[in-house]
Chain A
Amino acid sequence: MDYFLKLFLSGTAKGSIYALIALGYTMVYGIVQLINFAHGEVYMIGGFVALIVGGFFFTLGLPVPLVLLLSIIASVIFSSAFGFTIERLAYKPLRSKTRLSALISAIGISIVLQNFVLLAQTEKYLSFPSYLPELPFLLPVREYINSTQLIILATTSVIMVALTLLIKFTRMGKSMRATAQDKHMAQLVGVNINQVISVTFVIGSALAAVGGVLICSYMGQINYYIGFIAGIKAFVAAVLGGIGSIPGAVLGSFILGWTESLGTGYISSDYEDAYAFIILILILIIKPDGILGKNQKQKV
């Protein structure tokens, strides 16, 4: 039971990590129906900006909490700007074309960003200094959950609630839902869909940046290639929960996290990545639209 609890909690932490990336994936998908392969790269960019900016301020001798705050802000701003630029450059010209061509463009962006960071920075794994504070009240239970995990979990929960509120109750959220349902109709009733799509990319990228900072602190290292695998995992999580659905993405991420950590704990660690895919296949066979996905009736 003790062992199970440990695995369960580490799975929860892992799940909340995936959730931060999956949220951006699912938002973009919900609105433009694009599998944004470059999303993982934006997350990597977020991590790198935090490392660079944080490192700069740290050498200036600023106190650690301030460094943490500044590096998160910088990483959010830069990642959002990257997301915005990517959408303008690579996706907007293809909006009226087949979805497959936008997918290829996304893969192209993914290759470009990876290699850009590889060339401009380094191909090595860099160790990522953790600026996250140790929470003293967690010391007695530190073998179950450490403070980084708790911070990640709390951040994910707050972000998910905020996002749900944004989409449910604000004017922008309403426009987003309208655009997701029917782009042409939304345009007819006066929604500026260019703006909506840009905002979606900016929010998604900002979430990825927060994810980047937290995850790199948790893992303790960063590399130009981390985005690709994380992106695929997050995409799996988003599909698992029903792509386009925000609670679905979070639920899917937790299921993914639990499966991975229980699978590696009880069966074998050789197949760590396979458990995620097996659970995905099983769930999609039973529920082809994901757990919380809407069953879309197809009409002719």
Chain B
Amino acid sequence: MTRKLVIKEVLASLVSMLWFSVLLFPFMVMKVNVASGVAQIRFRWAAMPVIAIAAFVLSFLWRRALIWNEHRGDKLSTSSPFALARAFIQKALSKKPVRRTSLLVLLALVAVYPYALGMYHTNIMITALIYVILALGLNIVVGLGGLLNLGYAAFFAFGAYTYGLLWKYAGPAFVSAGINTGWIFWIALPLAGIIAVIFGILLSLPVLRLRGDYLAIITLAFGEIVRMVLQNSSAVTGGATGISLIPRPWLFNLRLPPRQAATYIYYIVLILVIFTIFVVRRIEDSRVGRALEAMREDEIACEAMGIDLVRNKLATFALGAFWAGIAGVVLAAQTTYINPDSFTLWESIMVLMAIVIGGTGSIPGAIGGALILKLLPEYFRPLAQYRMLIYGIAMIIIIIFKPDGLIPRNRKKYTFVEKVAQDGKAEVQA
């Protein structure tokens, strides 16, 4: 850096130092407390130098990072050690035996996880894996179909409540008939998927004409209505108190103590995740999947190619809803307690964030995004009250420096290279 540039940078940092010192002054330095209707202000001058120094340093770093980010693509990507490592991994993974072994190793690691790390970590992992299923399901809707769905938590709720209500109303019958109540889980699992699909189709029927943000807001409205209905029909669903003491799934006829039960649910959810990945991958490469992608890219062109848009959109919502229903049952089984507060708009937004941060439309991205989003706050716990603040900042930083997500989707691309031949005729190369 030249001397002039250094001076310029320092000046810019000083400006933002001043700016942020003024901007944050009423919040950081003045602390308000209202006692008997009168607002009282306490000044905390100690915060002042902290803001000033932090603003100076951070603004300097931020501008450097933005410049670095802009020119990241300029250099040949093989130069940095990071890129070299990535290229090496990609090359290695393209070989089938290597891919197989690494998959097996991964599977083995995942399989011994509950024994290696204990119940606390297993329970966290179960929650994270439930989110993986949700993210993979929503990825069909948002990533493949390009339909922004902000009411995804509603289908999650349908799943959880299918199990909860089945337990509440059919449970006593099971007990009196002498049938093991652990079976209810296995009945609820497919049933929840089916119910979620039916609701998915019903709810998407009226919104077929809508596009873009209008679709987003109407799915948001549906999600909120579903939650409010669950909350207010207390005679059926238990209202705001929800349904408690939902049984965990039993292993054959064995009722497991909590520790083993957690391990058992972990394996169930793991198998479900693998099943989901398998199915979603098949969908992606199928005729339906390609039709969905065509719809995302251009609805009119897609219709002109003879693709039935209505059927396609219904299929998208139904496919997405199915996984949410399944995930809901597992959630109810893990927490043994459900209430409408678990299915708020925030829940839908979290799943959406998982897939955008992971890389919209990419399966490894959705998995990675969901794991990061769910595990990060858990391991931020020592930071106590600062964790949500850091979480929000992390979101912004990730999305600014990786706007296509952490593991962007490798799309099959056919690029046209247009070359003007010497005789002036345009020549197209595939």
A interface residue numbers (CB < 8 A to B)? 29, 35, 48-49, 51-56, 58-59, 74, 78, 81-82, 85, 89-90, 93-94, 97-98, 100-101, 103-105, 107-112, 114-122, 126-129, 232, 235-236, 239, 243, 270-271, 273-274, 277-278, 280-281, 284-285, 288-290, 298-300
Contact = CB atoms under 8 A, between A and B. Distances in A.
Contacts of A59: 38-41
A121 B395 CA distance: 23
Interface string B232-267: 100000000000000000000000000000000000
A126 B300 contact: no
A112 B32 contact: no
5 contacts: A54-B39, A55-B41, A104-B353, A115-B392, A119-B385
Contacts of A278: 221, 225
B224 A277 contact: yes
B12 interface: no
A239 B207 CA distance: 14
B120 interface: no
Contact of A126 (B34, B349, B360): B34
Given A78-B23, A116-B27, A236-B217, A109 B396 contact: yes
Nearest to A29: B213
Contacts of A116: 27, 389
B206 interface: yes
B214 A290 contact: yes
B27 A101 contact: no
A292 B298 CA distance: 25
A98 B329 CA distance: 34
A127 B38 CA distance: 9
A106 to B, nearest CB: 9
B197 interface: no
A282 B228 CA distance: 18
Given A55-B41, A119-B386, A288 B23 contact: no
Given A78-B26, A112-B396, A300-B300, A119 B39 contact: no
Nearest to A111: B392
Contacts of B26: 48-49, 52-53, 74, 78
Given A101-B403, A126-B39, 14 more contacts: A59-B40, A105-B399, A107-B349, A107-B353, A108-B392, A108-B395, A109-B392, A111-B391, A112-B392, A118-B385, A129-B34, A129-B39, A236-B217, A239-B217
A98 B229 CA distance: 35
Interface string B47-89: 0000000000000001000100100000000000000000000
Contacts of B345: 232
A274 B226 CA distance: 9
A189 to B, nearest CB: 26
B201 interface: no
B391 to A, nearest CB: 7
Contacts of A103: 356
A121 B29 CA distance: 10
A52 B352 CA distance: 36
Chief secondary structure at chain B's binding surface: helix
A74 to B, nearest CB: 8
A90 B403 CA distance: 12
B105 to A, nearest CB: 33
Nearest to B304: A300
Contact of A56 (B19, B41, B66, B69): B41
Nearest to A37: B349
A228 B191 CA distance: 35
Nearest to B349: A107
Contacts of B357: 104
Contacts of A98: 360, 403-404
Interface in B370-417: 385-386, 388-389, 391-393, 395-396, 399-400, 403-404
Contacts of A53: 26
A26 B393 CA distance: 26
Nearest to B28: A120
Given A82-B23, A122-B33, A104 B356 contact: yes
A58 B39 contact: yes
A288 B400 CA distance: 32
B146 to A, nearest CB: 10
A224 B343 CA distance: 21
B392 A100 contact: no
Nearest to B142: A100
B97 interface: no
A209 to B, nearest CB: 12
Interface string B188-213: 00000000000000000011011101
A85 B32 contact: no
B224 A239 contact: no
A56 to B, nearest CB: 5
A119 B232 CA distance: 33
Given A58-B38, A82-B23, A97-B403, A111 B228 contact: no
Contacts of B349: 107
B213 A35 contact: yes
B234 to A, nearest CB: 9
Contacts of B41: 52, 55-56, 59
Contact of B221 (A49, A58, A236): A236
B93 interface: no
A111 B395 contact: yes
A271 B207 CA distance: 22
A271 B210 contact: no
B89 to A, nearest CB: 25
B32 A126 contact: yes
A105 B400 contact: yes
A116 B396 CA distance: 15
